Structure 1
Amino acid sequence: MLFSCLLFIPSLGLASGKTIFGLSEHVGLPDLGLQLPAKLDTGAQTASLSAWDIVHFRRDGERWVRFTLGLEDTDPVIVERPLARTSRIKRRAGDVAEDDKTYTSRPVIELDMCLGESLQRIEVNLTDRRRFEFPLLIGSSALTQFGALVDPSQNFAFHEPGCAVADTDE
């Protein structure tokens, strides 16, 4: 009886339709024509992209942001995207600023992301991640959209993002 139960357990992962990724993966950003290394962090709720010189502005009555993509050792990449919303991110215990706020406000944009074989539209907050190893962090909300399971014993389980992106030129 125990043996037959043990044989059934591996099939649970297959039936769930989940994909196993490592702690870090290459992520395609087709909207920006880029591929970036990302940290997959189940302890974070949202996705964060490294950005600086963030400027809010209006275009045709809509709220937008312009920012420099926070990639070191490359030519500056200036990006303009509609603002989806502004998020409030809880600060860690040692990060409380002089204003005593326990949160920080961050602009949120939407980007198409390719992780493994899956292409999803993900909300991403913008923050300066230059002090971190990875310019992109993928949190639990996005991991859920991707149907992802994270295996902490692996890194870069998928060597390249493999999304088939349809050609939209007509």
Structure 2
Amino acid sequence: MRVKAFFLLLCVLTLPTTSLAGNKTIYGLNENVGLPDFGLEVEAKLDTGAQTASLSARDITRFKRKGESWVRFYLAVDSAHAHPIERPLARISRIKRRAGDFDPEEEKTYTARPVIELDLCMGKVKRTIEVNLTDRTAFQYPLLIGSDALTRFGALVDPSRTFIAGKPGCLNESDADE
């Protein structure tokens, strides 16, 4: 009798957690992500410890076009992307520097990075998210997806699994979830 009561109590206590997770999609620590604006698929690291998303870019230049702030950059994901990309600048983000990255002469504890809006898709889900541009060529993954974007995707991350969402559906299909 006591075991049944304990089991029943355990079931009742986990019920709210189960219902909250019901609207979420489980993704792995790494996923294939589509960048439909560029007709490209890249491997990404899903990082709940990072707030923002970062895309590997090089030769990043800010400029004005008709009084508006824009950014020009080259994708730094492979050697095939040798043409410049121009996008409206959404904002400038301040990324906290790590202790080893801090230069006392600069007296800044952050790095300013340009941010653009970009469509991303994981599995069949497509969302527009903010992505900061930085050179990630020293890292294994050209795209890092932080908690802000993961929230927009309704994501739960299972770090024990990888590439569980499958190929991004929005690169070949026009009916990806908006």
TM-score (norm 1): 0.89
Structure 1 segments unaligned to the other structure (5+ residues): none
Q: Is the 1:72–1:130 Cα contact (8 Å) retained in structure 2?
A: no
Q: Aligned to 1:108, what secondary structure does the other structure show?
A: strand
Query: In angstroms, what is the RMSD of aligned CA positions?
Result: 2.1
Q: Which has the higher helix share?
A: 2
Aligned residues, how many? Answer: 167
User: In the alignment, what sits opposite 1:165?
Assistant: 174
Question: Does 1:47 find its partner at 2:56?
Answer: no
Residue in structure 2 matched with residue 143 of structure 1 by the alignment? 150
Task: Kindly provide the CA deviation profile for residues 134-155 of structure 1, in whole angstroms up to 9, marking residues without a partner as x.
Answer: 0000000000110000001101
Corresponding residue to 2:69 among 63, 67, 70 = 63
User: 2:162 pairs with 155, 158, 166, which one?
Assistant: 155
* CA distance, structure 1, for counterparts of residue 20 and residue 147 of structure 2: 20
Query: What is the match of residue 20 of structure 1?
Result: 26
What secondary structure is seen at the aligned counterpart in 1 of 2:126? strand
Task: Find the counterpart in structure 1 of residue 89 from structure 2.
Answer: 83
Q: Is the 8 A contact 1:28 1:113 kept in 2?
A: yes
Q: 1:131 Cα shift?
A: 0.2
Which runs of no fewer than 5 residues in structure 2 stay unpaired?
none
Structure number, greater radius of gyration:
2
CA distance in 1, matches of 2:122, 2:150: 9
**Percent of aligned pairs with the same amino acid:** 61
Q: TM-score, normalised by structure 2?
A: 0.85
For 1:131, the aligned partner's letter is A
| Residues 75, 81 of structure 2: 8 Å contact kept | no
Change beyond 3 A, Cα 1:156–1:77: farther
Secondary structure at the aligned position of 2:151 is classed as helix
1:73-112 correspondence runs (5 A) = 73-97=79-103, 98-112=105-119
Moved more, 100-109 or 3-12: 3-12
